[in-house]
């Protein structure tokens, strides 16, 4: 803490002698560690003092019910023990040099813009809207470092604020975060805190995912069974949903928000400039509703609120009565949420039940629908028409493109950016939320050392690097990209603490990626500001992840062995490493520096902020081979060093990612190894992954061929078989062979079997590594 105690001893003694409750004044020094980085900021000389002499005056902003000072006043009172008076025009008594003046500027293009001038003689805030004023106050709040301080209502505090000139506005209009309260119910207080943090980082949309297979969380008065039945599940799957054996916790879980609570959260968000976009999922992800009202399904049921994760085949059946139900639900939703947008889901809706349903097939004939995808579009269009008639627009996940897009729909692109590109090219508005950068349920650091997550690896830097505008769009199309949001799905996030751990600090990186102009984005500057923000997050009681100083080991296979570089977001951190933990002979290195490992064995490392970790290096003869593949690996999982990843002496971990693994999808492929000269080979060990829950299967067969000339190949080994889940080795033994070329012919699972996750889709094949001995 950097308080400057300016307690004058005499004053203090005088205070004691007069037995007055006159406490010492803490002088708090502010800084310019603002996040997101303002669009324009020029530090100036001098300081402004905020203390008991300070007063405020604000122009009126006709037509708004949003008090842009309320949050600031609340925080200020809590931290300082006094209030800055807001003095009506004409009642000025104080000295103008202690004034914070808020002026309404003419309305401009961007309603969120603001100007904040901190001069030694006063502060002037200029903005066209209360939203702009609110953001100016958040910036001032950050500059004051007020949130870094403990609450001390009894004591006076006084602030020294550096002079600065800020002209700021956001790059994107839609800056959002999503929260899934269905997989795990989150209490109202936490939802409010989540919104509070969004607003602090100038995000303006909260996507509240309210209905799911595993629980319905919004009170709908017309349908009481949604509260009695759909809001509760009897138990919950334990561990990752690909784990075996399957285990359940035996504990009933659930809850829902009353309409009164929802109104309160909507009001709370509005006082922070945050619009809440409710999501009511249809036609899929609705098993909880079907458990309450089975007549909405194509088959009779009964159904049970889901207790495990994934995609379920029982979905809403497009009966007239289903539309009536959904319209009734949406009527109550619209009454609660003033948002111009209602999210209607639309993702991951299997068509199995519709294919089997005589009703659906007849409806398709009647409506001239050629496929079940078109039936889904019919479904979404009807709902869109209803919502449009009430003055609202729909947002849907990118699957709503599949059978033809509803006329006015906004597309939320989650399966990469492609859906968003297609929608923008068709003239539709888009919100980007690709898994690659925006799924905060992914790991943020090495999975082996993290609490359980769904998979993936989305580091702070990756989030920061996000640009929602794809290169393939022209200027006109790019204007349709409203912005982006991160999604926090909570299958593996049972508590508010873990939700904060997954969301922060990545949400701040996203906030900056969406607010700050690309020319001003600078990851190094961001990280330094973020280090300063951790004390603000501490002060706000946020249980963020500690990865600023925890290293991610990056490896590179080189001629002499394996190069390791440890990276932390915060530069120049000390990492301790040892080849042997028994001797405790730790050497140290700074992050960013390279260490070479030339012999096989383990490398252990740690920091003051992390436990001991291990890199197991086992190079083999494949190290000297040139590897080629036909076709090359899938672009999503090309291997961190391309095909070299397959021979870098490191075996892929069960938590798959595109760094450690190379992957192919659905079609046969060939891997060729050329050793450059005749080489004696006794065995090959091929590392493969089996994770059916993630659509990853071992190959159906692998054939090993050898050749001395690269023309004539002979089969030397063959594998076909079953495999346990997880990372497994396929071992081929053929002692005494002499070859220059080895060819692996790999047949993957072409189509995932019915009843399995991803049924009907091409299976993934993940490989790492190819060890040759
Ligand atoms: C999604 O992640 N299923 C939108």
User: Residues 715-737: pLDDT tens digits?
Assistant: 999 999 888 888 999 999 999 99
**What mean pLDDT is predicted for residues 264-287?**
98
Ligand 1 center–CA 487 separation, angstroms: 9
Ligand 1 center–CA 445 separation, angstroms: 22
Q: Which atom of ligand 1 is nearest to the CA of 487?
A: 2
Q: Which atom of ligand 1 is nearest to the CA of 348?
A: 3
Q: What is the per-residue pLDDT for 98?
A: 92
List all residues whose CB is within 6 A of at least one atom of ligand 1.
Answer: 347-348, 397, 414
Sign, CA torsion 53/54/55/57 = positive
The residue that leads in pLDDT, 449 or 7, is 449
**What tens digit of pLDDT does each residue of 325-356 get?**
999 999 999 999 999 999 999 999 999 999 99
Q: Report how far residue 520's alpha carbon sits from residue 443's, in angstroms, rounded to the nearest whole number.
A: 27
> For residue 742, is pLDDT > 60?
yes
**Probe ligand 1: pick from 180, 281, 397, max atoms within 8 Å of CB?**
397
Q: What percent of the chain has pLDDT over 70?
A: 96
Q: What is the per-residue pLDDT for 656?
A: 76
**What tens digit of pLDDT does each residue of 27-69 get?**
889 999 999 999 999 999 999 999 999 999 999 999 999 999 9
Identify the CA nearest to 544 among candidates 484, 463, 460: 460
Q: What is the 8-class DSSP label of residue 227?
A: I
The answer to whether residues 500 and 542 touch, using CB atoms and an 8 Å cutoff, is yes
**What tens digit of pLDDT does each residue of 212-225 get?**
999 999 999 999 99
Ligand 1 center–CA 434 separation, angstroms: 10
Tokens of 683: 């065995």
Q: What percent of the chain has pLDDT over 90?
A: 83
Helix, coil or strand: residue 709: coil
**What tens digit of pLDDT does each residue of 175-205 get?**
999 999 999 999 999 999 999 999 999 999 9
Taking the CA of residue 532 as centre, how many other CA atoms within 13 Å lie in the half-sphere pointing to its CB?
A: 19
Ligand 1 center–CA 347 separation, angstroms: 6
Residue nearest to atom 3 of ligand 1 (CA): 347
> For residue 306, is pLDDT > 60?
yes
Q: Which atom of ligand 1 is nearest to the CA of 397?
A: 4
> For residue 11, is pLDDT > 60?
no
> For residue 540, is pLDDT > 50?
yes
Ligand 1 center–CA 399 separation, angstroms: 10
Ligand 1 center–CA 95 separation, angstroms: 56
Kindly give the residue spans of alpha helices, DSSP state H, lying in 337-480.
Answer: 352-356, 358-366, 372-389, 418-425, 435-438, 460-464, 475-478
**What tens digit of pLDDT does each residue of 122-162 get?**
999 999 999 999 999 999 999 999 999 988 766 688 999 99
Contacts of 367 (CB under 8 A, 6+ apart): 375, 378
- pLDDT-wise least confident of 282-296, 480-494, 591-605: 591-605
Distance of alpha carbon 358 from the chain centroid: 41
Identify the CA nearest to 222 among candidates 183, 266, 261, 259: 259
522: confidence class by pLDDT, cuts 50, 70, 90? very high
Q: Report how far residue 320's alpha carbon sits from residue 757's, in angstroms, rounded to the nearest whole number.
A: 30
Q: What is the per-residue pLDDT for 24?
A: 60
**Probe ligand 1: pick from 176, 312, 315, 348, max atoms within 8 Å of CB?**
348
Residue nearest to atom 2 of ligand 1 (CA): 414
Ligand 1 center–CA 661 separation, angstroms: 24
**What tens digit of pLDDT does each residue of 646-690 get?**
999 999 888 777 788 999 999 999 999 999 999 999 999 999 999
| pTM exceeds 0.85, yes or no | yes
**Probe ligand 1: pick from 207, 414, 434, max atoms within 8 Å of CB?**
414
**Probe ligand 1: pick from 180, 284, 442, 489, max atoms within 8 Å of CB?**
489
Ligand 1 center–CA 481 separation, angstroms: 19
Ligand 1 center–CA 345 separation, angstroms: 9
Ligand 1 center–CA 415 separation, angstroms: 8
């Amino acid at each position: 803490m950097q308080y400057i105690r300016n307690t004058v001893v005499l004053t203090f003694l005088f205070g004691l002698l007069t037995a007055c409750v006159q406490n010492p004044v803490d002088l708090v020094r502010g800084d310019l560690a603002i996040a997101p980085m303002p669009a324009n900021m020029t530090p100036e000389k001098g300081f402004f003092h905020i203390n008991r002499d300070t007063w405020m005056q604000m122009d009126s902003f006709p037509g708004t019910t949003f008090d842009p000072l309320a949050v600031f006043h609340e925080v200020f009172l809590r931290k300082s023990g006094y209030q800055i008076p807001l003095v009506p025009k004409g009642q000025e008594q104080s000295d103008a040099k202690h004034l914070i003046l808020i002026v309404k500027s003419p309305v401009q293009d961007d309603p969120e813009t603001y100007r904040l001038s901190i001069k030694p003689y006063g502060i002037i805030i200029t903005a066209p809207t209360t939203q702009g004023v609110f953001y100016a106050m958040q910036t001032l709040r950050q500059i004051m470092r007020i949130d870094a301080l403990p609450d001390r209502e009894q004591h006076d505090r006084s602030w020294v604020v550096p002079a600065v000139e800020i002209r700021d506005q956001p790059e994107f209009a839609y800056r959002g975060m999503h929260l899934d309260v269905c997989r795990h119910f989150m209490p109202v207080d936490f939802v409010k805190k989540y919104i509070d943090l969004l607003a602090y980082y100038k995000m303006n949309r909260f996507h509240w995912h309210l209905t799911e297979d595993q629980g319905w969380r919004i009170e709908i008065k017309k349908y009481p069974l949604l509260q009695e039945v759909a809001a509760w599940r009897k138990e919950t799957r334990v561990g990752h949903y690909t784990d075996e054996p399957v285990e359940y916790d035996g504990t009933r879980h659930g809850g829902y928000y009353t309409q009164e609570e929802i109104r309160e959260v909507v009001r709370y968000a509005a006082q922070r400039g945050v619009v809440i976009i409710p999501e009511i999922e249809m036609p899929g992800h609705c098993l909880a509703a079907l458990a309450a009202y089975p007549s909405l399904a194509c088959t009779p049921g009964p159904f049970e609120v889901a207790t495990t994760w994934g995609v379920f085949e029982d979905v809403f059946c497009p009966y007239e009565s289903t539309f009536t139900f959904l319209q009734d639900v949406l009527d109550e939703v619209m009454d609660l949420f003033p948002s111009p947008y209602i999210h209607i889901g639309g993702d991951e809706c299997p068509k199995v039940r519709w294919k089997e349903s005589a009703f659906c097939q007849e409806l398709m004939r009647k409506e001239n629908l050629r496929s079940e995808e078109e039936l889904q579009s019919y479904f979404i269009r009807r709902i869109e028409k209803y919502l449009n008639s009430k003055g609202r627009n729909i947002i849907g996940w990118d699957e709503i493109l599949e059978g033809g897009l509803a006329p006015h729909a906004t597309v939320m692109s989650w399966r990469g950016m492609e859906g968003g590109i297609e929608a923008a090219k068709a003239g539709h508005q888009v919100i980007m939320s690709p898994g690659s950068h925006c799924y905060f349920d992914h790991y943020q650091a090495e999975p082996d050392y993290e609490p359980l997550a769904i998979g993936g690896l989305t580091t702070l830097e990756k989030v920061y690097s996000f640009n929602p505008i794809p290169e393939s769009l022209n200027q006109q199309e790019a204007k349709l990209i409203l912005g982006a949001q991160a999604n926090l799905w909570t299958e593996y996030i049972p508590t508010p603490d873990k939700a904060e751990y997954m969301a922060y600090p990545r949400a701040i990186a996203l906030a900056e990626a969406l607010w700050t102009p690309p020319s001003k984005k600078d990851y190094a500057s961001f990280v330094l500001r973020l280090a300063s923000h951790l004390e603000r997050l501490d002060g706000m009681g946020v249980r963020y992840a500690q990865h600023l100083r925890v290293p991610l080991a990056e490896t590179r296979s080189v001629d002499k062995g394996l190069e390791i570089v440890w990276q932390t977001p915060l530069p120049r951190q000390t990492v301790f490493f040892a080849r042997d933990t028994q001797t405790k002979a730790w050497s140290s290195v700074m992050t960013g520096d390279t260490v070479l490992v030339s012999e096989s064995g383990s490398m252990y490392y740690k920091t003051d902020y992390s436990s001991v970790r291990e890199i197991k290096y086992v190079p083999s003869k494949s190290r000297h081979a040139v590897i080629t593949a036909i076709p090359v690996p899938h672009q999503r999982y090309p291997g961190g060093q391309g095909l070299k990843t397959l021979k870098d002496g490191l075996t892929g971990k069960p938590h798959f990612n595109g760094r450690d693994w190379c992957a192919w999808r659905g079609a046969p492929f060939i891997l060729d190894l050329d050793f450059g000269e005749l080489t004696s080979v006794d065995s090959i060990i091929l590392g493969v992954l089996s994770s059916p829950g993630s659509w990853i299967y071992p190959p159906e067969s692998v054939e090993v061929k050898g050749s001395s000339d690269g023309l004539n190949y002979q089969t030397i080994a063959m594998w076909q078989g079953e495999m346990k889940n997880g990372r497994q080795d396929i071992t081929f033994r053929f002692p005494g062979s002499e070859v220059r070329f080895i060819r692996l012919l790999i047949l993957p699972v072409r189509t995932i079997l019915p009843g399995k996750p991803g049924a009907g889709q091409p299976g993934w094949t993940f490989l790492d590594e190819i060890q040759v001995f």
